[in-house]
Amino acid sequence: QLHLQESGPGLVKPSETLSLTCTVAGGFIDSSGFHWGWIRQTPGKGLVWIGSVDYSGTTAYNPSLESRVTISVDTSKNHFSLRLTSVTAADTAVYYCARRLILDGTMVAFDYWGQGTLVTVSS
Amino acid sequence: DIVLTQSPDSLAVSLGERATINCKSSQSVLYSFYNKNCLAWYQQKPGQSPKLLIYWATVRESGVPDRFSGSESATDFTLTISSLQAEDVAVYYCQQYYSSPLTFGGGTKVEI
């Protein structure tokens, strides 16, 4: 059974960088059959896709966040990471990592999700 | 960006009754090569992460009870719970994966 676990600081100061890691257990991140993504959730904006990465490090980002986001993968540690720079209170959210299925060569939906981690941006 | 508009925002259904949730896309999400719509449905129970129920608009994820079904008509999509159970109380979201950025609907809260 695949298990994803987010980790990182729960409190980040405004203008600083938010860094989270998603550790994958029960499966290997260096599989060509999946992508790995970050999604955040707030009461006001709902679920927002941040971006995704594959095992080779190829990324795709939401244009609304692209200038501040970096997603990377470390296959040796079986984890992938999120960096979001210059955070403001608007970046306060529950952050989820998730696996994205690839079926017949097409990227599909997110079939496994981490439990989520609340990150608060405040001084 | 593709906008997904869900309706209603919330609904109350009696146990054993049918629940119907709608999701309207601002543009086609039909992947013509496979003639399939790039639309997924998720269930999120309180305090939990979203759970994939349906993808390709109508394909049930493994392990999902068959009381959950998805239907499609052009840019209109529907999630139906044929006989609501107590454990189905949750917020349901649609999501398109046709084009980037991936986008989600605003959610529909289902209560007893």
Listed in sequence order, the residues at least 6 apart from A72 whose beta carbon sits closer than 8 Å to its beta carbon are A53, A57, A59, A80, A81, A83
Q: Output the tens digit of pLDDT for each of chain B's 112 residues.
A: 999 999 999 999 999 999 999 999 999 999 999 999 999 999 999 999 999 999 999 999 999 999 999 999 999 999 999 999 999 999 999 999 999 999 999 999 999 9
Report the pLDDT value the prediction gives residue A106, as an integer from 0 to 100.
Answer: 86
For residue A110, the chain B residues in CB contact (below 8 A) are: 40, 42, 50, 52, 95
Q: In chain B, helix, strand, coil percent, each to 5?
A: 5, 50, 45
How many Å is the maximal CA-CA distance in chain A? Answer: 47
- C-alpha distance from residue B48 to each of A46, A90, A115, B42 (Å): 14, 22, 6, 12
Q: Which residue has the tokens 């496979």?
A: B34
How many residue contacts between A and B have a Cβ separation below 8 Å?
Answer: 54
Return the amino acid letter for A2. L
- Encoded tokens for A114: 């981490």
B101 to A49: CB separation less than 8 angstroms, yes or no? yes
> What pLDDT, on a 0 to 100 scale, did the predictor assign at position A77?
94
Distance (Å, rounded) from C-alpha A31 to C-alpha B76?
Answer: 34
pLDDT in the model for residue B15: 97
- Provide, as residue numbers in chain B, all residues whose Cβ is less than 8 Å from the Cβ of A115: 48-49
- Site of tokens 């707030």: A42
> Average pLDDT, whole number, for chain B?
96
What's the half-sphere exposure (Cβ side, CA atoms, 13 Å) at B18?
A: 7
Per residue in A25-76, pLDDT tens? 998 898 878 899 999 999 888 999 999 999 889 999 999 999 999 999 999 9
A29/A100 Cα distance (integer angstroms): 11
